[in-house]
Structure 1
Amino acid sequence: MELFRSMIDHRKVFVLALNGPASFFNSLGLVPEFGAARTFAQSMGVRRANDFLMFGHKCSVEQMESWGLINRISPAESFHEHVLSFLQEQLEVNDGNSVETKRLQNAPLRGERMLAMFDAAHALSERFVQGVPMEQFRRKTKQLSKASKARGVKTKASL
């Protein structure tokens, strides 16, 4: 939780560059951590967030961009180079220390985000107490094992 709080309060611009698929919480018996459920609802609307998070709706990167979940799409090939090039261009035209802009934009949301993070941690701990994630992991492992055997691939999986 301290990590998330420090990301909210950090006095520099925070950049996350993700190249690859994301997993869906409910299919693993989990809940969105760090208050992501509230953040998703704010970004993409409650109905779309419910479909996306509760039912594991798969979507394209273009959909995520149109819903406001991501700012831009970089090509998969030379992904890291493209991201670094973009950031370098930004440093050339901006001071790279947009502290006041970030503070002003995040200030009205800070308390809500912190509360959402604690709510999510509580809900996640309840799921683990109930044993739901372990049961889901067992079920998924069994499904993957069956699929691998059907393809003739030998696997070893344990929980």
Structure 2
Amino acid sequence: MTCYTEYHSPLGILLLAATERGLSGLYFEEHRYFKGTRDWRRDATHPHLMRTMAQLDEYFAGRRRVFDVPLDMAGTPFQGAVWNALMSLPYGSTSTYQAIAQRIANPKAIRAAGTAIGRNPVSIIVPCHRVLGVSGALSGYAGGVERKSFLLELESSSHGKQALLQGMIAG
């Protein structure tokens, strides 16, 4: 059974979903690939959801750089390889779609890697926002380019709270 709750973030409302095995989704309100909660049960006390919310609080306050919530992400083996590569990107760093394809030993699969990145069901925690176009352009984020920019600014700031206080995005 998938359980869900809403989390009020500086970027707006996030929908968090979890199974008994771990966090299975973290979606923005108008996330491009979100399929809905029809078969899910609302439960803000689910242990994985509570842990995720606590860690998101720390992240947005600039006190957390690595998430350690268990994940239960459904995807193909290729998508799993791409998502694992994303999780190895350090806080505050960026990469390119091409570099991710190379990292998974499939350097010609740049477009496929981009598609897998775009289908990441656990935004922020699996940091797809850290991937840029080859020219350094902000592109292709299911939560929108403004949110991607905010997350990169939050991570590049030595004082995470400062980005929030400057009101980069009203949530």
- TM-score tier after normalising by the smaller chain length: under 0.3
For CA contacts below 8 A with separation 6 or more, give which structure has more relative contact order. 1
Q: Which has the higher strand share?
A: 2
- Structure with greater Cα Rg: 1
Write 1 or 2 for the structure with the bigger share of helix: 1
TM-score (norm 1): 0.26
- State TM-score, norm by structure 2: 0.25
